[in-house]
Amino acid sequence: MKEALQKAKELDDSDSLSHYKSQFHFPQRNGKDCIYLCGNSLGLQPKITENYVVEELKNWQQKGVEGHFTGSKPWVSYHKNSKASLARIVGALEEEVVAMNNLTTNLHLALASFYHPKGKKSKILIERGAFPSDFYAVHSRISLSGYDPYENLIELQPPKGSDCLKTEEVIEKINELGDELALVMFPGIQYYTGQLFDIKRITEAAHKVEAKVGFDLAHTAGNIPLNLHHDQVDFAVWCTYKYLNSGPGGVGGLFIHEKHAKNQSIPRLSGWWGHNSEDRFKMNNTINPIPSVDGWQLSNINIISHASHLASLSLFDEAGMDNLRSKSIKLTDFMEHLILDSDILKNQVKIITPGNHEERGAQLSIFLLNHGKSVFNYIIDKGVMLDWREPNVIRVAPVPLYNSFEDAVNFVTILENALANEG
């Protein structure tokens, strides 16, 4: 690993984003910063977050209720402060994105607007082994619509011997379901394998059979550049506490394409914050939704959570998604090569994440062929934070904002030692 470490130091020295690492707080392990490779579960806290949160605490302290309408960022319109940043991150118009609620609440709101089964056009296509947030939401939505989820929820799984679905297999299933298909609900990146789905092609295929398309971007937003508006996605939801580093349980995000967002007659579960803001406080109970994604808002947002969100978004504005993606590809590829070139690891682990970096984000899912969770526990004990998933998978997320090439070498060295220790 000596040569690899030297190469890593050279790559870090030439990395234009390397200075961002010092702008994050790292948990301590064994008296020093841990190697944090768990951004796909919870992103680290930017050091500037405290300033953003304290500012709003002081506004509350000093202004009380008047904080809703005074100051540089009045609370009544606070959600607008993140729109430009979010639009850049997910490839949308500002009127198509809003930070509000949490992922699952936003998903239920979107399903209420976009899943309306009629006759045989009643089926929802998801992936087998979808993240529970998605499964529970679509399962319950089918039931609430008066249909049997066990007949109308179609779960597509990879063929035997494969870890991932090919885009062609997804499109083939969409075409097979044809005029029975009402909605396709997929992740942008599959949480377990780290596979990046082809959002554009899946959307095009679904629209050809007149089905709506939604994406769960929990592991995608802030991970790879997106083009939701151009790709004609109907809706998307995401959380902000993973790659977007906005704090545990942080505010969620919602995208509604312009063609729907401006349609005030589209069915929705309404809240008064989605009502025309000019008339909102007249309390006249008329239905007049804002002609943008803001029309799906339910109530005023959690200011403290959103302040934390704004802090992290300011770093994304500085760094730029294209720059982050460029480093992410280099960093993840570098870690992959270290694993594949290791004489110790080559017969002990299998990377189930796609090998083509165009088909993955900042993640490698490592399947332990001959050992179990004791390997993971050894790695944790040596100062690395990462994620375990049954059976026998370690999810590793080399995040470009705060991980280095040297981190990759040190992690792989510890993984080798863990397996040698087991042996």
Q: How many domains does the chain contain in total?
A: 2
Contact 241, 43 (CB under 8 A): yes
Are 245 and 121 part of one and the same domain?
yes
| Final residue before a domain boundary, out of 317, 347, 381 | 317
Mean pLDDT, rounded, for 254-265: 94
Whole-number pLDDT of residue 124: 98
Are 280 and 412 part of one and the same domain?
no
pLDDT band at 8 (very low <50, low <70, confident <90, very high): very high
In the predicted model, is pLDDT for residue 325 greater than 80? Answer: yes
CA distance 414 to 393: 16
In the predicted model, is pLDDT for residue 378 greater than 70? Answer: yes
Are 93 and 240 part of one and the same domain?
yes
Are 259 and 329 part of one and the same domain?
no
In the predicted model, is pLDDT for residue 251 greater than 90? Answer: yes
The CATH number of the domain holding residue 148 is 3.40.640.10
- Whether residue 184 is contained in a domain is answered as yes
- Whether residue 377 is contained in a domain is answered as yes
3-class SS string, 362-419: CCEEEEECCCCHHHHHHHHHCCEECEEECCCEEEEECCCCCCCHHHHHHHHHHHHHHH
| Final residue before a domain boundary, out of 271, 294, 317 | 317
Quick: pLDDT tens for 12-63.
Answer: 999 999 999 999 999 999 899 999 999 999 999 999 999 999 999 999 999 9
pTM: 0.96
pLDDT band at 423 (very low <50, low <70, confident <90, very high): low
pLDDT band at 156 (very low <50, low <70, confident <90, very high): very high
